[in-house]
Structure 1
Amino acid sequence: MKHYFLLLAALCFTVGTTVAQSSCSQYYPLVEGTSLQYTNYDKKGKEEGQMDYKVTNVNESGDTVSATMVMEISDQKGNTFSSDYDITCDGNVVRIDFKSLMNEQMLSQMGEMEMDITGTDVELPNNLSVGQELPDSNVNVKMKMGGVMNMNMDVETINRKVEKQESVTTPAGTFDCYVIYSETRTKMMMSNQTMPSRVWLAEGVGMVKQESYNKSGKLMGSSVLTQLSR
């Protein structure tokens, strides 16, 4: 259970940069049918699984564009996890609603568990520049299991900053990227940990690469864009 929610927490603060560009969005092509595939690696570079995303249900109203991202995660053991979440672009900022990550399918997997989810959306401006500081975000999940045990999870993404520009080559191509650094602080039961990460973000594509580190700065895992279809 703990592993499941830590994985969800990590996804919450990285998938915000995995969507893809409409007239509203500079970096994210919110175009119906756009699909992206990422391969996940452990700290030794061994393949761990894949993440697949597809843009669906795109709606435009004035300067606002909304879409649904369908997400599927699979590992080397054949385990799969799927969900969907909502994205909104207002012409200046892209926002992800964290509450929508906890949809009916995910809730059904938790059985009789009751959940109360609060927090703030992750925001990413359309215009990025080196040295720019980005807003913090957070999500809190309160869980009640069978009326017996209560469990809280707090996840904060802090110290978000655009570090530099860098060219990155992956199996999907070569991309000019902004590198965004952040720290994800997770509190759950007796666990309290902070994990730094970096995301390489390309215009018109979204996330090209992501790396997570331990508190000492050593690489713990990574994700790389391996397929892109628009």
Structure 2
Amino acid sequence: MKIKIITLIGLLFFSLPLMAQDACSTYFPFKEGAKFEITSFNKKGKKESVVNYEITSINNNVANIKAKISDAKGKEVTTTEYNVTCDGNSVSIDFKSLMNPDMFEQYKDMDMEMSGTNVEFPNNLKVGQTLKDANLKMTLNMSGIKMNMTMDMLNRTVDAKESVTTTAGTFDCFVLSYDTEMKMGMKMNFKNKEWIAKGVGVVKSENYNKKGKLMGYSELTSFTK
């Protein structure tokens, strides 16, 4: 089964939600009904896909996020859901958010088991800070044939503060970086950067191969609360 690796890596990391600020969390607060859009591009700036997110419900500091993924022409590919939990000091994003939504469609006829460690973002981000690693483990089973995939987010650090402009506006951001290691028959390594703004969330992300060459990027293109 073929997977477009560049598209896969570009989609793996834009699933983090983008929300408005409240007392629960500085960077990923909850507001029911908030909607936001992330558009992904290849390294030459050609649009590859769009994901529209909506916070559909909030119960006991757990927000349900619905994501609809569309191709470059606007045709819906699939939808998925995951949770984000706030404890007042940080937010914990369901490890299933690391899963490319398109892969749910590709593997819909297989039995799928997932486990992992959630992605955490503390409220008190500061330059020089080290963040916790995260990982996703997935087992696919079709007619007794099993296929395993793992993905690890490693060496997560807060590196700088920068201003970023997208079609959604201009934002003052912290710059985060981390390494990604994927294993699915073979091991692949990538480097990633993301820009996260107070009261908004992830505004932009860039994905690089192990040699440091840009593979693709994603940007916040719409945000309503």
Distance 1:20 1:140 in 2: 30
**Any gaps of 5 or more consecutive residues in structure 2?**
none
SS in 2 for 1:3: coil
Q: 2:22 is matched with which residue?
A: 22
Q: Within 5 A, what are the aligned runs for 1:1-230?
A: 1=1, 3=3, 11-16=11-16, 18-60=18-60, 65-77=61-73, 78=75, 80-99=77-96, 110-147=107-144, 149-189=145-185, 191-230=186-225
Contact 1:69 1:85 in 2 (8 A): yes
SS in 2 for 1:31: coil
Distance 1:9 1:212 in 2: 7
Distance 1:226 1:32 in 2: 20
Give the CA RMSD over aligned residues: 2.4
Q: Which amino acid in the other structure matches residue 70 of structure 2?
A: S
Distance 1:159 1:212 in 2: 15
**Any gaps of 5 or more consecutive residues in structure 1?**
none
Q: CA deviation at 1:5?
A: 9.3
Distance 1:159 1:187 in 2: 17
Seen in structure 2, the aligned counterparts of structure 1 residues 26 and 156 have a Cα distance that, compared at 3 Å, is same
Q: CA deviation at 1:150?
A: 1.2
SS in 2 for 1:199: strand
Q: CA deviation at 1:211?
A: 0.6
Provide, for residues 11-37 of structure 1, a one-character-per-residue CA deviation record: whole Å limited to 9, x for no partner: 454423544533211112310111111
Q: CA deviation at 1:111?
A: 4.5
Seen in structure 2, the aligned counterparts of structure 1 residues 28 and 176 have a Cα distance that, compared at 3 Å, is same
Q: CA deviation at 1:154?
A: 0.7
Seen in structure 2, the aligned counterparts of structure 1 residues 6 and 213 have a Cα distance that, compared at 3 Å, is closer
Provide, for residues 131-176 of structure 1, a one-character-per-residue CA deviation record: whole Å limited to 9, x for no partner: 10000111111111111x2110010000100010000111111100
Distance 2:155 2:28 in 1: 22
Structure 2-normalised TM-score? Answer: 0.88
Q: Which amino acid in the other structure matches residue 28 of structure 1?
A: F
Distance 1:27 1:93 in 2: 9
Distance 1:10 1:171 in 2: 19
Q: Aligned pair count? A: 221
Q: CA deviation at 1:112?
A: 4.3
Q: CA deviation at 1:44?
A: 0.6
